Structure 1
């Protein structure tokens, strides 16, 4: 029992260390993140350089349409070396977890077959763990983008109705949202820089929708593309879409509130209910035990 407990603690420690290292690397501050992919980036650290060297051994990383590159862009990592670094993190995590599990089982069981099975399991767990972390980061970034869209649309409506062109409205939104919704500000700033570089507005908006997996942002880009294509007024359309987003946000909040009761069933049943039962019935059971004890003695 003690050996199993030690193995579990050591395994959880190794998994936590690998997850913390990958999470720190993926969420560290990125001063150059406002630039579109390929326009620049910060100087890579020694750890990032090491992961990139490891990841460059995977030939598929260099493909521009690799699915991992699209997922990293959705998480906000637009550096050209991001896929190689990510594959380096996956490879290092797989090797570290496999070595830790194999070494631990050798010390405890001293059986080669068990150690090989544990190492194989560690390879799978360590290789899939960064994918799970990346999925969580994509979801969190999508939530932050969605929360900032109603405010961004209000600012865009004010700018458009004041006579500013769409390009200037996008830049104004990027500046005003920088301190409140930095992810949305980065996306708008990247779109503005691409417009200044001479790209077509439809192409820029398509890229904005493609590099993010948030459905509400894709709806906004579709609205802007249709308005630009058919020449309709942007102000009323943006105002109506902002009202729709606020309605959707209120509905999501109500849905989450209704789910709270169901989620509280297990904590109440397994944590609160036994405590209440012990407090209410405990004294009565103790008194009943002492009163019935003399009659049970022979």
Structure 2
């Protein structure tokens, strides 16, 4: 039986699939037991008067949630707990990338689990249709590498998206400050200024417009200026916006001129943006030297030295051989 399994690719694939299935079933059963215990604990807490149960969600929130949130809810109802010990850190990374939903960390965990099993499964499926199937060792190590890759690809994607979002906010915020300065000098208050600038920048800088609109709605809903501005800094996840929110809070408490504060901070941010552009410009010669050395320098050396080499082969070497 062992000789048949080791010599036949089909049997090797079936054995690997059986092992994979047994491991997946064991993980599913254990997670189901743990999640059932947690669900019983939550139900007992609900009966004891806990009002934070998911059953108290509003109908508006249930209608506005996305497809991934519904998938996560159905998966957790099936018994698989998608909670993570580092959920606060994951939530912070996802908010920096623009995912503000409360179900985003669990959806992120679900996607990572799917990628861990999907990439090796796809590789095994593709390998089964090849004329010369890979060896068992290669299949094992390649599947393990693809599983690790599937574990880290979502993390890399979230980090790249967070960096792009941060760059868009930082590059567009000086324009926002200029518009706010014009509105303040025209006589508008802080709430009216945020609302006006948020509507004006809806097409040019939609991310900044959404944050300002959210801050305005918080103020209209009864939140204090300090709480709304601190929420703006937390939602943005950018140091420049946090500093701006702190500056506005201090200016409001101390009674200093809001126009002067905006003018000074706007000039500082524009200077910082100019310095970043100069830094990138100064890096270009160093970055361009790499392809020049790798691709153009060998070609130039070959063009310059090739005639001398040909002449040496045709004339110098035969002359030296004739003298010998």
SS in structure 2 opposite 1:246? helix
CA spacing shift, 1:173–1:88, aligned 2, 3 Å: same
Are 2:83 and 1:60 aligned? yes
CA spacing shift, 1:53–1:72, aligned 2, 3 Å: farther
Equivalence map 1:81-100=2 (5 Å): 81-100=103-122
Deviations 1:255-284 (A, max 9, x none): 112222222232111111112222222233
Structure 2 residue ranges without an equivalent (≥5)? 1-59
CA–CA distance in 2 between the matches of 1:171 and 1:149? 15
CA spacing shift, 1:187–1:258, aligned 2, 3 Å: same
Please state how far the C-alpha of 1:151 moved relative to its aligned partner.
0.8
Alignment match of 2:166 (pick from 119, 142, 161): 142
* Aligned partners of 2:72 and 2:103 also within 8 Å: no
Aligned to 1:211: 235
SS in structure 1 opposite 2:236? coil
Please state how far the C-alpha of 1:155 moved relative to its aligned partner.
0.7
* Aligned partners of 2:215 and 2:232 also within 8 Å: yes
* Aligned partners of 2:69 and 2:103 also within 8 Å: no
Are 2:202 and 1:175 aligned? no
CA–CA distance in 1 between the matches of 2:287 and 2:312? 36
Greater relative contact order structure (CA < 8 Å, 6+ sep): 1
SS in structure 1 opposite 2:83? helix
Are 2:76 and 1:74 aligned? no
CA–CA distance in 2 between the matches of 1:132 and 1:121? 16
* Aligned partners of 2:174 and 2:269 also within 8 Å: yes
Structure 1 residue ranges without an equivalent (≥5)? 1-37
Q: Provide TM-score, normalisation by structure 1.
A: 0.76
Deviations 1:5-49 (A, max 9, x none): xxxxxxxxxxxxxxxxxxxxxxxxxxxxxxxxx96875635x775
Q: Provide TM-score, normalisation by structure 2.
A: 0.70
* Aligned partners of 1:146 and 1:216 also within 8 Å: yes
**CA RMSD in angstroms, aligned pairs only:** 2.9
